Amino acid sequence: MATSFDPASTATALANAYVQAAQTQLTTQTQRSQAQATGLTKLQSALKAFDTAVAGLSNKKTMVASSATFSSTGFATATTTTKATPGTYPLFIEQVATASQVVFTDLPAVPVPVTGTLSISQGGIAAFDVDFSTADIDGNGTLSQAEMARAINSAADNKGKVTASVLTTGNTTQLVLTSAATGEAGEITVNASTISNAALKSNLSAGTTLVQGKDAILWLGAKDTGVKVKQASNTYTGIEGVSVTLTQAQASGGSPINLTVANDTSGTANNVKTFVDAFNTLKTALDALTTAGSVKDGTAAGVFSSDSSIRSLRNKLNDIVRQDFGGVKLTDFGVSSDRDGKLTLDNTKLEKKLAASPDALDTVFGTATLTTSSGLLGATDKYLDVWLNSLNGQIKRRQDSVQSAQAAQTTRQTRLDAQYESAYNRYLKQFTVLQSIQAQMEQTTNMFDAMSTGS
């Protein structure tokens, strides 16, 4: 008896053998393209993270940090800029600026139409008029406090100068007007003389001042003997490079509080360390992508292990951090690299160099803006753009190339699948016929065997 076989299994095996060489080659190419796509995504993410750190340092305008502190807390806060000069400044806060607030209690819901206008002034100067004639939004025939507030807020010339709100406490409802600006110039007054409804006119003419709009009064030095500063805002910028925000008035007869502006060595060190850490993080990512791997250690080669351009990127960044800018280098400020290229910061050396040359650190780091590029930050930003530019950067071009290769591979896979299917169907048909012939031959053989046995 002949050995039986399965036409489907045989067809599958022969069809696989038919496309095996091409499929093996295509699978290898597809895996390589996917690895490159994944590698480019990791590279892009690492470079963008470093670029973000560079931009953040550039936005600080200076690497040299300064601090502003008060001898007594709770009265004011302060921030500094690059122009802040170390020193001590005595200040006395006589009065903080306040925003005017006026309240109207239990205004009646009056029948419409209401003609005339409510005139609102600030600091004695007419600001805008409010027309209530179309303010009955819900169309119920009466004008409510909520509809009055909406009409005030949406008045054409208001533009945020005054905000109206309705507050309810227990059984009492209040319409509150609040000035957007602090100071005497924001003091709110109203004139309801042309309002047609007598009850509404009376109530709107009887508002109560909750908060009076006042200017801030600050003394540079002691009260009454120093320099008096009166202004609408609670933010004082008269000390170059320092912005002071007043929060609370001091007690009458008190002594000035001292504002001390000083160099912040800890903050400066943190700024430098931000760059060092960002660089080391990027270096780790680049090393992983370009490692040659080791059979001994069982580590696989990086996807860009044989890519000279990626290795050139890593080497270029290493060169930039070692460059001389304005006659000084990062190494002068305690930033050194080990044999693997990892950066470390020596805070003691940094502080000594800052004490001797406080402006030199900004010379080394420079800036990176749309209009200005200098120093380490500028050089780094410029080189990163070669890779990260969304229109023609190296990564964009490489991603486009990989995507084109993947599209071609998908097309080839579709074609190869069709070839497999055609071969499978052909073999299946052939071996199905062969199986049928074999069955017929076995049947004939069995018949002859039976006849022979019977004789």
Phi and psi, residue 34, nearest 5°:
-65, -40
d(CA 275, CA 56): 10
d(CA 64, CA 350): 11
Question: Could you identify the residue written with the tokens 């006042």?
Answer: 214
Phi and psi, residue 79, nearest 5°:
-130, 160
The pTM of this model reads 0.68
Residues 6+ apart with CB under 8 A from 223: 92, 94, 252, 256
Q: Token pair of 131, please? A: 């027309």
Q: For the CA atoms of 253, 254, 255, 260, what is the dihedral angle to 10 degrees?
A: -140
Distances (CA, A) of 111 to 115, 141, 144, 204: 11, 6, 9, 16
If you write DSSP's letter for every residue of 405-420 in order, what string do you get?
HHHHHHHHHHHHHHHH
pLDDT of residue 140: 94
pLDDT of residue 359: 85
The candidate with the shortest Cα–Cα distance to 249, out of 90, 99, 101, 92, is 92
Q: What is the pLDDT of residues 147-156, one digit of tens each?
A: 999 999 999 9
Residues of the chain short of pLDDT 50, as ranges, are 1
Q: Token pair of 105, please? A: 């209690």
If you write DSSP's letter for every residue of 350-400 in order, what string do you get?
HHHHHHH-TTHHHHHH-EE-SS-EEHHHHHHHHHHHHHH-TTT-HHHHHHH
**Residue 343 forms beta bridges with which residues?**
337
CA dihedral over 236, 237, 239, 244, signed as positive or negative:
positive
Please, are residues 147 and 110 in contact by the beta-carbon 8 Å criterion? Answer: no
Q: What is the pLDDT of residues 47-97, one digit of tens each?
A: 999 999 999 999 988 898 899 999 999 999 999 887 888 899 999 999 999
pLDDT of residue 1: 45
**Residue 173 forms beta bridges with which residues?**
168
Residues 6+ apart with CB under 8 A from 255: 92, 222
Q: Return the SS3 of 346.
A: coil
pLDDT of residue 440: 82
DSSP E strand boundaries for 161-256: 162-169, 172-182, 188-191, 208-211, 216-220, 227-231, 235-236, 242-246
Largest alpha-carbon pair distance within the chain? 145
pLDDT of residue 3: 55
Q: Where in the chain are the domains?
A: 7-61+266-395, 66-96+216-263, 99-211
